[in-house]
Amino acid sequence: MGHTKRVKEAGRYGSRYGSTVRKRVLKILSERHSRTVCAGCGKSVLMRRISVGVWECPSCGYTYAGPAHTPKS
């Protein structure tokens, strides 16, 4: 489980889906852990995902609809 060789976090998917897909997944996973500037309070925060495509700012509680798997819009 977890971090393996070239594709790091996406290594959890083992050899499934092919390496190209796993690299794409890795990009999504790494963006999920990155900070995003909140449109509500302007702070750079780690958005919480409430539901698929719904993100919340932990600082001001601002929620917005975004991409399903990453807080980046």
Residue-wise DSSP of 24-62: HHHHHHHHHTS-EE-TTT--EE-PEEEETTEEE-TTT--
Token pair listed for 57: 């700012």
Does residue 66 interact with Zn ion by CB under 5 A? Answer: no
The one among 7, 22, 36, 38 contacting Zn ion by CB under 5 A = 38
- Taking CB under 5 A as the criterion, which residues in 9-28 touch Zn ion? none
Residue 59 found at the interface with Zn ion (CB under 5 A): yes
Backbone angles phi, psi at 57, to 5 degrees: -80, 125
Among 41, 46, 54, 65, binds Zn ion (CB under 5 A): 41
Binding site for Zn ion (CB under 5 A): 38, 40-41, 57, 59-60, 62
